[in-house]
Each structure stands twice: as C-alpha cells, then as structure tokens.
Chains A and B, each alone.
Chain A
C-alpha cells in the first residue's frame, strides 16, 4: 500500500487555470529601458510635464541603485533590458462605456470571474481592470461619484485630478525608497486611484484586477488610495497571468493614506502564474506596499493571500504616525513546487498608543521556500505603543523550507512587543485521522491548511474568503512532488 507521502506525490496536478492568452491587438513598444523609453511612455499616455519630470527623476535615481539581494530568494539576474515596458490593448476608439470595451477583453475578464458586467451589479463590487499596462474599464463610476468618491485609473487621475495626484503620489513610497519603487516610478503605465472624501463610508467593495497578457512584458502598476477624515473603504486587488516559459517582471507600488478616524482595509489575492512544476517560468513579483496612518485613530489593515508568482518580494507595512492609530497585517503565503516567497511587513510606531497586529501563516510544500520577514519599530515618541506578532509556518513534505526573520527595534520603554512563532509539519496523525473518517488525502490537506489559515481568511470580505479557500486548495494540489 502507498504511504500518504507517496499519495501526496502522485496527486493529480491541476493546471494553472488562469493561464490562457488573449489574442488581442496591442500596441507594444520595443524591448529595453532608457530615458527615451521613459519619455515615450509619458508621451503615449499624453502626460503633463510634471509627470514626465517625476518619471525622469526616478529613472535617473534608479540608475544609481543595485537590485537588492538580501532576501532569502534564489533567482538568476534579471535583465532589465529584455522586457517591454509598455503594452496596451489597441482600442478601436476612445471608450465611453463598458459596451465599448473590446469583447475579447470582456471575455477574458469573464474567464477570470471578474464582476465587470452589469449583471454582476448585484454583487456590489466596483472594479477597475488593468490589462497589461492600461486600465480598461471602471465600473460603477457614477454611483460612486454621487458620494463624491473618485475611483478611476491612474492615468485618468493624472488628467482629471492632478492636484490630488501631485499632492499624494510618492508621499508614502518615494521613488528613492528602493530599487523596485524607483523602477516603478519611472515606467509605471497605469493603475488605480481612489479618493474617499471626508465622512464618506464607501458603500461597496472597490476592486482592481491586474492581468499580464503580452509576452515579455513587465507590469508596473501604481495604486494610490486616500481616505480623508472619518471615511472608510474596503479595497480588493486580484491578479493573474498566462503561463509562459520565461519569467516576467511585476513591480507594483501601492500607497495608502488614512487621515483622522479613517479606515482602509486593503485585501490582495495574488495569483500570478507561479511557474510550472519544474520551476520554469512564472512571475517575479517585487512589490512595495505601504500605508500611512497620518491621522489620529486612523486604521490601515492589510490582508494578503499570496499563492502565485515564482518569486515574491513584498512587505506591506504601516507607518503609524497619528496617535492611537492601528496597523494590521494578515498574511497567508503558500509556496509549492519551486516557488519562493520572502514576505512580511513593517510596522513603524511613531504616534502615541499606536497598535499593530501581525498574523502571518506561511505554508511550504514541494520544494517551496517561504520566509517571513518583519520589522516592528517603536520610535522614541511612541509612548504606550503595542505590537503583537504571530508567525506560523506549516511544512508539507520534507523538501520545502520555512524561515522566520523578525526584526524588533524598541526605542521607548513603555512599549509592549510580543512575538510568537511556530513551525509545524502537517501531521501524519492529522491526515490519517481525516482519512480514517473517509476524507481523501487531497481534501484532508486542504482542510488542515485552511484550518491553519482561518485567522487570516476571516479578515477577508466574505465572498473573497471563499475564493481564497478554493485558490489555496487548487494551489496545494500535487503539493509534494
């Protein structure tokens, strides 16, 4: 009879089901990165001079930087000249409503299960979809604008709301922040912009879907979300890509700003193509996400479910500037086959009585490598600051790895910092117990892992929590190989 390990090894591998390519006419500029390319991007997008200026400064700064290599990640050098930095679906004409979006594209979004069409109106989700580099459609715009909410593509925001963009862009993640942030600032092609005015509670989930379609194209999107005093918003980001043999680069920047009493909940389901079982292909995901709790009692909560990408380098953090502000980070990161993830958070406590909570669940299967890397920093003025961190790792099989790198820097003696960590191997006992009740191995693994992640899933908006569980089950299939 086969052992559970053998069975885990032979479980059917499910193909990455989002791996199709849409055959669509696109406007793609030649490979390579130079000042000309940066100018060309800006020109193609018809940007004002201040935007070009920002890009050029970022580009020149980027030239002075070297790619960071401190993460627990192993990948060959990235050739930044070997990618296209702009690719846009060629519109037949200027788009005024959803009906005019290329039907092929709508079909793609249909396959992705994006609630783009009017029939999904009931779902109450407003979506901005970014395809390759360009934002394609923003639904529910009118309904949102009745509340004074701005939710549009980044390009449109540059055109229609230049004051807001100039005021906030780069104020949380400056282009000098790191190598990938500088690269993004130079060449980003679109993304989402959102502004919630004072006292407004956004009446629906806002959502962005990112998809890389074109071969050898980098995707560099920027998201900027500002919640003014007393407002609140819940935002969800999802992403997928076709299966390709070569590695593709994704370097996004997300900036969140919360003023007095404002609350932002930002959830990500990251499902970029992870590469095949042998580790060929897959997205390199280098992302800088940061939120600034600028106001008193402001609250920023990051929830991420990371199941995709060949390489993940990502540390969504919070700068807790306002007194009594709250930062949260809930993360599930799964690495299977040859995937590698180095992810975690940074919580910088500056204001008084600031609080942060970190719950990280890392699951490694196959030859996956999973690292939690987190910084909790309590600055001098952060009297009464509190942090609680819990980092749990689960290993499935014996060829994978889990690593924890917590950095704690406390400069105020009244602060409380608690850190708990655990590593467990998915138990033969647990699996056998499930099997003995008639539950097969695949379902048992899914059940145990989902149970392990429960504290994070319950932070997700309902409908997405269900999605996340399914995604985890699919990603776990063939989990020891």
Chain B
C-alpha cells in the first residue's frame, strides 16, 4: 500500500530524513521507534503532506501512485489519516461541525452520500462510547481546553469516524493514563483489518503490548537503522538505543 524509497527531506535548509526505505502492505501494523529528534514526526507529516517540508530526493507511492503531487486534503480523502502528536485547537468551531464537514468531504470523494445530522450523531455517539469518551466533547470547540488525554482520544475517535486506509499515529499513547492507554489501544486494535495499514510512532513498549506490530523499525539520525519483529521493541525497552546506534554507527539524536 505504501512504498517509500530513499526518501530525503529538508526543513529550513537542514536535512532531517536522509534516505528512508519503508514498505507497508494492507493489513500490516508497523511501529516506528527512535530517539527524540530522529525524524519520526517529520516522516508522519511528510506523508500527510505538510508543506514546510521539502522533499529533496526519493519517492513516496501510495497504492502505486505518486503521493507527493497531492494536496493534504486530497491525501486525506484518498484515505491517509494522521493522529497528531500535538492536536491543534480551533476556537469557536464545534467538534461535531468540524468532524461532520471532514467526514462528508471524504464521503463525497468516495462517491458516498452525505451523512445528515442524525446519522452523523448516531455514528459519532457509537464510536465515542467504545472509546469511553464524554459525548459533551462533541459540542465543545475542537480540542479547546481538552485535557492531554482527551486530545489524544479525540484523534483516535476521528480516525474511527473517517475510516482511513492508512492510519499514522504519532505518539498517540503519550499523555494517556493506564486505563486510557488500554482503551485507545483497543480502539486501534478494532480498526485493525486486512484492508487497512497502520503506522504507529511510539516510545514505549506498553502500547505495543496491546497492539502487537508486524514489524518494528528504529529511526535514528534520519535513517531506519534497524527493522525487526516485536522482540526488537522489547529489547529496546530494556536496553535503550545505545547498543543499536553503536552497531549501526549512527549518532544518537541525529540531525542535530
């Protein structure tokens, strides 16, 4: 589904990604781990089409087509979803209005009929229930005054509503309490099926206890320095990145 070849990315003249190769097939879950500042969010944002990042080399194919020519909203409509590491507040715009607009623009692109207010609410309430979210959040401004955990849950809620083909979760587990972590992980786990690909960026093994990935990658200094099975994540949890970086000759916190 997603094929990244030798991807190089700069921001403000600084090279952050220095040649990434990554392929994810439908039905797979990949995890990306790696030290702070190694380029994980950069990769997530580039996939979603954030304009500040300059692609200086390589290619990104999504379902065989060049992704880089599409605007962010077109990518979203094609089925790419990014759960943000730092969800953005939009004062004065209710979550329900925002999400209904989003959902209907995606549905329109898919050739599906618009959901009316009733169907939308019914669907939203069902999804919120499974994430143990307070329905009142629907009537509040998008992320405004939400607690850290509520913001993260709101991202997963939106993901469930928008039903993407490729879901990228950027540290969706950070800031969640233990119960919330399980609820969110269950939410993601429910979305796991043979048609969908999921890419989770995380620092912690505990998320991967719930969502057991097919492949674990370690991103460091703008390169994937190691890929392996779930045991790799367990080893990292225990031993840190040091051994790996020595082994690969990469510099910790690379890109600085």
Q: Which A positions have Cβ atoms within 8 angstroms of B?
A: 1-4, 7, 427-430, 432-441, 443, 447-448, 450-455
A429 and B88 contact, Cβ closer than 8 Å, known pairs A437-B76, A438-B76, A441-B73: yes
A447 and B71 contact, Cβ closer than 8 Å, known pairs A427-B88, A436-B48: no
| Complex contacts, A2 vs chain B, CB 8 Å | 51, 71
Q: Cβ of A453 and Cβ of B101 under 8 Å apart? A: no
Q: Cβ of A438 and Cβ of B92 under 8 Å apart? A: no
Q: Cβ of A437 and Cβ of B102 under 8 Å apart? A: yes
The answer, among B49, B69, B92, B102, for a CB contact under 8 Å with A452, is: B92
Q: Please name 15 further chain A to chain B contacts, defined as beta carbons within 8 Å, in addition to the given A436-B81, A438-B106, A438-B162, sorted by A numbering.
A: A2-B51, A4-B51, A7-B71, A427-B88, A428-B52, A430-B88, A430-B89, A432-B88, A434-B98, A434-B102, A436-B49, A438-B77, A439-B73, A447-B98, A451-B141
Q: Cβ of A440 and Cβ of B73 under 8 Å apart? A: yes
CA distance A428 to B89 in the complex (A): 12
Q: Is the interface of A mostly helix, strand, loop or mixed?
A: helix
Task: Sample 17 A-B pairs with CB under 8 A, ordered by A number.
Answer: A1-B51, A1-B70, A2-B71, A428-B52, A430-B89, A432-B88, A434-B98, A435-B72, A435-B73, A436-B73, A437-B102, A437-B162, A438-B77, A440-B73, A443-B101, A443-B105, A453-B92
Can you name the residue of chain B whose Cβ is closest to the Cβ of A449?
A: B92
Q: Cβ of B72 and Cβ of A436 under 8 Å apart? A: yes
Question: Does B65 have its Cβ within 8 Å of any Cβ on chain A?
Answer: no
| Complex contacts, A447 vs chain B, CB 8 Å | 90, 93, 97-98, 101
Q: Quick one: which of A7, A434, A440, A453 has the most chain B CB within 10 A?
A: A434
| Complex contacts, B92 vs chain A, CB 8 Å | 450-455
Q: Which B positions have Cβ atoms within 8 angstroms of A?
A: 48-52, 68-73, 75-77, 81-82, 84, 87-93, 97-99, 101-103, 105-106, 109, 141, 158, 162
Q: Cβ of B90 and Cβ of A430 under 8 Å apart? A: yes
Q: Cβ of A437 and Cβ of B99 under 8 Å apart? A: yes
Can you name the residue of chain A whose Cβ is closest to the Cβ of B105?
A: A438
Distance between B108 CB and nearest chain A CB, rounded to angstroms: 9
| Complex contacts, A439 vs chain B, CB 8 Å | 73, 98, 101-102, 105
CA distance A433 to B90 in the complex (A): 9
Q: Cβ of A438 and Cβ of B109 under 8 Å apart? A: yes
CA distance A438 to B71 in the complex (A): 10
| Complex contacts, B99 vs chain A, CB 8 Å | 437
Which are the 3 A-B pairs with shortest beta-carbon distances? A451-B92, A437-B102, A451-B93
Can you name the residue of chain B whose Cβ is closest to the Cβ of A437?
A: B102
A435 and B71 contact, Cβ closer than 8 Å, known pairs A1-B51, A2-B51, A440-B105: yes
CA distance A398 to B76 in the complex (A): 28
| Complex contacts, A1 vs chain B, CB 8 Å | 49, 51, 68-71
| Complex contacts, B87 vs chain A, CB 8 Å | 433
CA distance A14 to B68 in the complex (A): 29
Q: Quick one: which of A432, A443, A453 has the most chain B CB within 10 A?
A: A432
The answer, among A4, A436, A443, A448, for a CB contact under 8 Å with B76, is: A436
Q: Cβ of A451 and Cβ of B90 under 8 Å apart? A: yes
Q: Cβ of B158 and Cβ of A437 under 8 Å apart? A: yes
| Complex contacts, B93 vs chain A, CB 8 Å | 447-448, 450-451
CA distance A436 to B82 in the complex (A): 7
| Complex contacts, B71 vs chain A, CB 8 Å | 1-2, 7, 435, 440
Distance between A103 CB and nearest chain B CB, rounded to angstroms: 38
| Complex contacts, A428 vs chain B, CB 8 Å | 52
Distance between A445 CB and nearest chain B CB, rounded to angstroms: 12
CA distance A443 to B93 in the complex (A): 12
| Complex contacts, B105 vs chain A, CB 8 Å | 438-440, 443
The answer, among A3, A427, A430, for a CB contact under 8 Å with B51, is: A3
| Complex contacts, B88 vs chain A, CB 8 Å | 427, 429-430, 432-433
CA distance A454 to B139 in the complex (A): 14
CA distance A46 to B158 in the complex (A): 67
Q: Cβ of B50 and Cβ of A432 under 8 Å apart? A: yes
Distance between B185 CB and nearest chain A CB, rounded to angstroms: 22
Distance between A223 CB and nearest chain B CB, rounded to angstroms: 31
Q: Cβ of B72 and Cβ of A432 under 8 Å apart? A: yes
Q: Quick one: which of A7, A427, A439 has the most chain B CB within 10 A?
A: A439
Can you name the residue of chain A whose Cβ is closest to the Cβ of B53?
A: A1
CA distance A452 to B73 in the complex (A): 22
| Complex contacts, A433 vs chain B, CB 8 Å | 84, 87-88, 90
Distance between A363 CB and nearest chain B CB, rounded to angstroms: 13
Can you name the residue of chain A whose Cβ is closest to the Cβ of B79?
A: A438
Distance between B190 CB and nearest chain A CB, rounded to angstroms: 20
